Amino acid sequence: MTLDFIKHNARIIRLTSIFIVALIVFIAPQFLDRYWTFFFGALGITIILATSLNLAIGYTGLVSIVHSGLYGVGAYTVAILVKEFGWSPWIALSMGVIAAAFVGAIISLTTVRVSHLYFAIVTLAFNAIIVEVIRESRDLTGGQIGIFSIPRPALGAEKLDDRAMYYLIWLGVLFSLWSLHNLVDNSRYGRSFRALKSNEPAAIALGINPLGYKMLSFSLSAGMAGFAGVLFAYLNQFISPQLVGLEFGLELFVAVLLGGSGTLLGPILGVVFLASVREFIKDYAQYQQLLFGSVLIATMFLIPKGIWGELKAFYVKQTSKFNPDDINPTISDPADYLDPATIRSLLELDNNQHQIETGKPILEAQGVVKSFGGLQALRGVDLAVNAGTIHGLIGPNGSGKSTLINCLTSSMERNEGSIVYANQNTPRYAYRVAKSGMVRVFQIPHLFGDMTVKENILTGFHGRGNVDPISYIMGLPYARREEAEMQRIADRLLEVAGLQDKAEMQANLLPHGQQRLLEVLRALTVSPSLLILDEPATGLVTREVQALGHLLEKLRDSGITILLIEHNMAFVMSVCDRVTVLEEGEKIAEGTPTEVQHNQRVIAAYLGESVKGIDIEKTMQEAVERYA
């Protein structure tokens, strides 16, 4: 009952609570003594830092243990600039942010070579390096002793006092949360970060440059960490290497994960929780750390998903509107909705520079060879796909179909052979393939499962628009307009595809058939001229297969060429214009469906030599008629 109330008034409740919290934060210092003013100031700084870490871990999947180090980079940069070189604290502030962002950018370069667990370790190493550099560059940093009496910034003639620092910090907290919200929830940049976290291969197939976006995310995150460091240097007016140490870095980690990574408020809960634990056990100085560790382990036993995770699980369980029983599992037939003109305009297909005259080859592969160690998966395959056709690629399991697709889309490096797409060699990097006009849909569903249906669609629009990330962070009007325009197209597209009622649903909760449809739609958002589908009919019921067939035909009529890998022979035979057959890494036949059907080698490959007695033609013909 209460939860239903929350659900229906979510926006009002959110706004009211933001207002109340802001009010409390604003008037609190009137009732606080120096100790508590300082305490809450420091708490705000930790919240900013945890928020920055959340951008890296929670939204981009970059597990970082170097954030305390980046925090230190910000703090030491301003301390040295202001104390040693006499810079104005306000100008030094921006330098602290820039220095940390720069170090972050360098660290994120390593994601070219390493990812996931390794990245965590690399950041651990960088943190250790930052600590050692600070300890050993005694002339600049004061070594173990640190730097003290750091001058605070001044407003007018007055240096900021503790209370003014408190307000500055909480303004910073507000700004950090607001900008993170703008970035991750309402911008194409944030959606690309989240797509990379959710499913990197799928993001790359949509043309998202993994290194570029990870660098962007990590630099922004590092800059925010540096900002927190700067604030701390000014608040505390004393910094030492302990600030940067691994212990603090790990504690931040705990705060973010415990609170709930990937949510705006989770890390705040985590920071407040840890700070309260520390505050409660501070009277037992001797046992403080022991108690702290025990609380940590106990928490993991009691609420392993973290505070926010458990709350959310409870909330979803109680209010779940998307009870699987309620969903109408039958797929609406897109043939009822789609018309080529609408598709063309929504997807901006007319702007496509890679148009090839219908009937001429759009994709030509020659002599493609791919070996895995001693196994030759492709032994010199030729393939030509003509523009404006649906081209089938079939073959028994292990015949090299998926390997060929991987080579065509540069997901794998081929050993030999040339691949020309729209009169140009295919790009070397997989993420550029989408931009060149070729996009693939994977064999196993590769949705961004933790994002909504609409966000999945919107992710494909990452290349549209030209507003820079900083404008998005600042929530500038033209960034908002660009976002609104993309939302509008996405809504329209979902409507056209008959998915509008599921727009806000989490994508992995869709029934299987609609997940496949959504994947095809998402692939279309990058305005491809060639769509590669890897066994799209797998797991679909007959009616859904029919609908898929109609969809493909509509797309072909809209001017999109389709390369279809499929096991469902009847389906292939009914929709394809031409069919290529692979067996054991070699092309054994090519031609119209009828020609292929009668090819003795194909029959032998699929059914073996010993069953020649059976009337294959008749069997196939029957199957085709059933679906026609």
Partner 1 sequence: MDIFIQSLIGGITVGAIYGLIAIGFNLIFSTTRVLNFAQGEYLAAGALVGYTMSEVWNWSFGFVIFGVIAVMAVVGVVSERLIMIPVRRVGGLAWILTTLGASIVMRNGLVVLYGREPYRFPALSDGDIRFGEVVIRHQQIWIIVAAVVLLILNELFARRTFFGKAIRATAHSYDTAALMGIPVGLTISISFALSAIVTGLAGLLIAPIVFADANMGLLFGLKGFVAVIVGGMGSARGAFVGGMIVGILDTFVRSVLSDVIPSGYGNLAVFALLAAMLLFRPTGIMGQAITDRH
Minimum Å gap between C-beta 310 and partner 1 is: 10
Q: DSSP class of residue 506?
A: B
Instruction: For helices 89-109 and 67-83, give the axis angle rounded to 10 degrees.
Output: 150
278 is an interface residue for partner 1 by CB under 8 A: no
296 near partner 1, judged by CB under 8 A:
yes
| Residues 6+ away with beta carbon under 8 Å from 20 | none
Residue 19 contacts partner 1 per CB under 8 A: no
Minimum separation from the CB atom of position 589 to partner 1 (A): 35
CB of 584 to partner 1, least distance (A): 25
CB 627 within 8 A of CB 545: yes
Q: 618 to each of 411, 441, 596, 615, 622, how far by Cα in Å?
A: 39, 32, 14, 5, 6
Q: Does 145 bind partner 1 (CB under 8 A)?
A: no
The H or E element that residue 478 is part of is helix 477-496
The least distance separating partner 1 from the CB of residue 137, rounded to whole angstroms, comes to 10
Tell me: does residue 222 bind partner 1 (CB under 8 A). no
Is 215 an interacting residue with respect to partner 1 (CB under 8 A)?
A: no
Residue 287 sits in the site that holds partner 1 (CB under 8 A): yes
Site residues (CB under 8 A) for partner 1, limited to 49-68: 57, 63
- The tokens 């001017």 sit on which residue? 559
- By beta-carbon proximity to partner 1, the closer residue of 241 and 395 is 241
The neighbour count for residue 504, using CB atoms within 10 Å, is 11
Question: Segment near partner 1 (CB under 8 A), from 289-297, 435-443, 494-502, 571-579?
Answer: 289-297
- Residue placing its CB nearer to partner 1 in the complex, 306 or 437: 306
Nearest-CA neighbor of 201 among 487, 470, 392, 410? 410
> Does the protein bind partner 1 through residue 122 (CB under 8 A)?
yes
| Binding track, positions 94-113, relative to partner 1; x by CB under 8 A | ----------------x--x
Tell me if 532 contacts partner 1 by CB under 8 A: no
CB nearer to partner 1: give 18 or 313: 313
Choose the stretch contacting partner 1; rule: CB under 8 A; options: 125-133, 318-326, 548-556, 592-600.
125-133
Cα-based angle 518, 522, 525 (whole degrees, multiple of 5): 145
**Minimum distance between the CB of residue 289 and partner 1, rounded to whole angstroms?**
4
* 304 is a contact residue toward partner 1 (CB under 8 A): yes
Concatenate the DSSP letters of all residues of 22-76 into one string. HHHHHHGGGG--HHHHHHHHHHHHHHHHHHHHHIIIIIH----S-HHHHHHHHHH
> How much of the chain is in helix, strand and coil states, percent to nearest 5?
60, 10, 25
Q: At its nearest, how many Å lie between partner 1 and the CB of residue 86?
A: 27
CB of 395 to partner 1, least distance (A): 25
End-to-end CA gap in the chain: 51
Give the shortest CB-44-to-partner 1 separation in angstroms.
24
Q: Is the Cβ of residue 313 or residue 470 nearer to partner 1 in the bound state?
A: 313
Q: Which is nearer to partner 1, 118 or 315 (CB)?
A: 118
The stretch among 5-13, 172-180, 247-255, 429-437 that binds partner 1 (CB under 8 A) is 247-255
Helix (H) or strand (E) holding 493: helix 477-496
Please, which residue, 259 or 549, has the CB nearer to partner 1? 259
Measure Cα distances from 408 to 359, 432, 591 in Å. 20, 12, 20
Among 12, 24, 27, 117, contact with partner 1 (rule: CB under 8 A) = 117
Beta bridge partners of 180: none
| Residue 301: exposure state from Cβ atoms within 10 A (0-12, 13-18, ≥19) | exposed
Q: Which of 250, 420, 467, 505 binds partner 1 (CB under 8 A)?
A: 250
Residues with Cβ within 8 Å of residue 627, at least 6 apart in sequence: 542, 545, 546, 549, 570, 571, 574
C-alpha closest to that of 221 among 73, 431, 18, 80: 73
Of 10-18, 297-305, 452-460, 561-569, the window that binds partner 1 (rule: CB under 8 A) is 297-305
Question: Could you say whether residue 87 binds partner 1 (CB under 8 A)?
Answer: no
* List 48, 230, 235, 254, residue binding partner 1 (CB under 8 A): 254
Q: According to CB under 8 A, which one of 220, 231, 257, 441 is a site residue for partner 1?
A: 257
Member of 301, 321, 326, 397 binding partner 1 (CB under 8 A): 301
Per CB under 8 A, 132 contacts partner 1: yes
- 70 or 620, CB closer to partner 1? 70
Contact 168, 231 (CB under 8 A): yes
Q: CB of 280 within 8 A of CB of 232? A: no
In this chain, which of 10, 22, 23, 125 binds partner 1, going by CB under 8 A?
A: 125
Q: Kind and range of the H or E element at 89?
A: helix 89-109
If one asks whether residue 121 binds partner 1 (CB under 8 A), the answer comes out as yes
Residue 218 touches partner 1, criterion: CB under 8 A: no
Half-sphere exposure of 118 (CA within 13 A, CB side): 8
Applying CB under 8 A, among 290, 470, 614, 628 the residue interacting with partner 1 is 290
To which residue do tokens 């043309």 refer?
Answer: 207
Torsion of CA 369, 371, 374, 380, to 10 degrees: -10
Q: What are phi and psi of 283, to 5 degrees?
A: -75, -15
DSSP state of 264: S
Least separation in angstroms between residue 309's CB and partner 1 is 8
Among 38, 178, 292, 606, binds partner 1 (CB under 8 A): 292
- Count, residues near partner 1 per rule CB under 8 A: 39
- Minimum distance between the CB of residue 175 and partner 1, rounded to whole angstroms? 28
How far is Cα 45 from Cα 173, in angstroms, rounded to an integer?
7
586-591 and 578-583 beta bridge pairing: antiparallel
Taking CB under 8 A as the criterion, the residue among 28, 300, 346, 474 binding partner 1 is 300
Min. distance of Cβ 245 from partner 1 in angstroms? 10
Q: Where do contacts with partner 1 occur on this chain (CB under 8 A)? A: 57, 63, 110, 113-114, 116-118, 121-122, 125-126, 128-129, 132-133, 135-136, 246, 250, 253-254, 257-258, 261, 286-287, 289-290, 292-294, 296-297, 299-301, 304-305
